[in-house]
Amino acid sequence: MLQQLVNALLLGGIYALVGVGFSLIYGVMNIINLAHGALIMLAAYTTFWVFQLYGVDPFASIVISMALFFVIGFILQKYIVNRVVGQNVLMTMVLTYGFELIAVNFALYFWHADYRAVNPTYAGTGLEIGDVVVPYIKLGILTVAIVLTSLLYLFMTRTKIGNAIQATSLNKDAAQLVGIDIQYIYSFTYGLSAALAAAAGTLIAIVYTVTPSMEGGFLGKAFVIAILGGLGNSLGAIVGGVVLALAETFGVVVFGAAYQQIVGYVIFLLVLIVRPCGLVGRRFFSEL
C-alpha cells in the first residue's frame, strides 16, 4: 500500500507537468491546445535522439529541450496561432489539431512507429526504505517536477512578465490599457507552455517508451488534469496531476489493470458534474 502511494506521488510529478502547460494556454488565451500531446511526443523524441546519438543524459538535456521548445512555441504562436486568437473555439481547435496531425505524421515518417526507450546506466537502481523501493530515476523525475512547478509559481507571482501574463488572463482590455502587448504575452505563454510540455516529454521518455502515437494518451491526460485542477488555473493543475496519479494507481489495485484509464476519466466526469470549477478553483480565475 505504501509502495503504491509512493508510486502515485512519483507519477503525479509527471502528470502535473503535463497538465500545467495545457492549463496555462487555456487560462491566458481560451485556447484548447490540441497540439499539447504532440509537443510532449516531439520532446520525448528529442530526448531520445540526443541520448542515442550524443550520449547526453536526459536530466541534462531537459534544459536544452525546454529552451528549444520555448522558441518553437513562441514562433508558432507569433506567426500562426495569434491570427486566430479570439475566434471561436472550433477555429483554434482545428488549427491546433492540424499541428498535431503534422507532428505525428512527421514522427511516423522519419522515425517509424517503433517503440524506443532511453536507458541511462542508473536505471534500475533505487533507494530502499523498509519495504518501499524508490527508484532513483523516479525520485529524480519528481524532484525536477517540483522544482519546475515551483519556479513557474515564482515566475508568475514575482516577475513583471509573470504578472503581465496573469493580468492578460484576467482582463485583456485592461491589460492593453496599462501598456501590455498582449500579442507578445500570448507568444510568450505558448513558449512557456511548450517548454513545460518539453520537460514533461523528457521525463516521460525516461520512464516510458517513446512512440509517435503516445501523444493521444497524454493529450487526454492533460485535459483531465487541467479540468481536475480548474481549467485555466495552471497551479491547480499540480493538484490535478497528483489526484489523477493517485486515482490511476489505486484504481489498478482495486479494479485491476484493465481499468486504469477508466478510473481517471470517471473521476473527471464526476468533478465536471459536481464541481465544474475544478477541485481547487481559485476566485476570479477561470470563471466561465
Partner 1 sequence: MTLVVKDLNVAYGDTQVLWDINISVAKGEVIALVGSNGAGKTTLLRTISGLNRPKSGQISINGQDLTQATPAQRVRLGVAHVPEGRQLFAGLGVRENILIGAYLRTAGQEVRRDLDFMFETFPEVAARRNQQAGTLSGGEQQMVALARGLMSRPQVLLIDELSLGLAPVVVEKLFNLIRNVQKELGIGVLVVEQDVEMAFEMADRGYILDTGMIVKEGRGEELLGDDAIRKAYLGI
User: What is residue 116's three-state secondary structure?
Assistant: strand
In the bound state with partner 1, the residue whose beta carbon lies nearer, of 52 and 181, is 181
Residues facing residue 210 across a β-bridge: 116
Q: How many other CB atoms are found less than 10 A from the CB of residue 276? A: 12
Query: Which one-letter amino acid corresponds to residue 125?
Result: T
Q: What is the C-alpha to C-alpha distance for residues 194 and 73, in angstroms, rounded to an integer?
A: 5
Q: Which of 30, 176, 260, 261 binds partner 1 (CB under 8 A)?
A: 176
Instruction: Tell me the closest approach of the beta carbon of residue 33 to partner 1, in angstroms.
Output: 22
Asked if 30 is part of the footprint of partner 1 (rule: CB under 8 A), the reply reads no
Q: What is the C-alpha to C-alpha distance for residues 266 and 225, in angstroms, rounded to an integer?
A: 12
Q: What is the C-alpha to C-alpha distance for residues 88 and 66, in angstroms, rounded to an integer?
A: 30
Which whole-number Å values give the CA distances from 56 to 51, 52, 119, 145, 203, in the listed order? 5, 8, 11, 20, 14
In the bound state with partner 1, the residue whose beta carbon lies nearer, of 105 and 157, is 157
Asked if 171 is part of the footprint of partner 1 (rule: CB under 8 A), the reply reads yes
Asked if 181 is part of the footprint of partner 1 (rule: CB under 8 A), the reply reads yes
16 CB contacts (<8 Å, ≥6 apart)? Answer: 145, 149, 225, 237, 238, 240, 241, 242
The span of 51-59, 109-117, 143-151, 169-177 binding partner 1 (CB under 8 A) equals 169-177
Asked if 283 is part of the footprint of partner 1 (rule: CB under 8 A), the reply reads yes
Q: Minimal CA–CA distance to 80: which of 101, 65, 99?
A: 99
- Please give the size of the binding site for partner 1, defined by CB under 8 A: 20
Which whole-number Å values give the CA distances from 147 to 100, 144, 157, 243, 248, in the listed order? 28, 5, 15, 19, 24
In the bound state with partner 1, the residue whose beta carbon lies nearer, of 112 and 287, is 287
Q: Which of 167, 226, 227, 235 binds partner 1 (CB under 8 A)?
A: 167
Binding mask 134-163 for partner 1 (x = CB under 8 A): --------------------------x--x
Asked if 174 is part of the footprint of partner 1 (rule: CB under 8 A), the reply reads yes
User: What is residue 127's three-state secondary structure?
Assistant: strand
In the bound state with partner 1, the residue whose beta carbon lies nearer, of 83 and 112, is 83
Asked if 179 is part of the footprint of partner 1 (rule: CB under 8 A), the reply reads yes
Residues that bind partner 1 (CB under 8 A): 160, 163-164, 166-167, 170-171, 173-181, 282-285
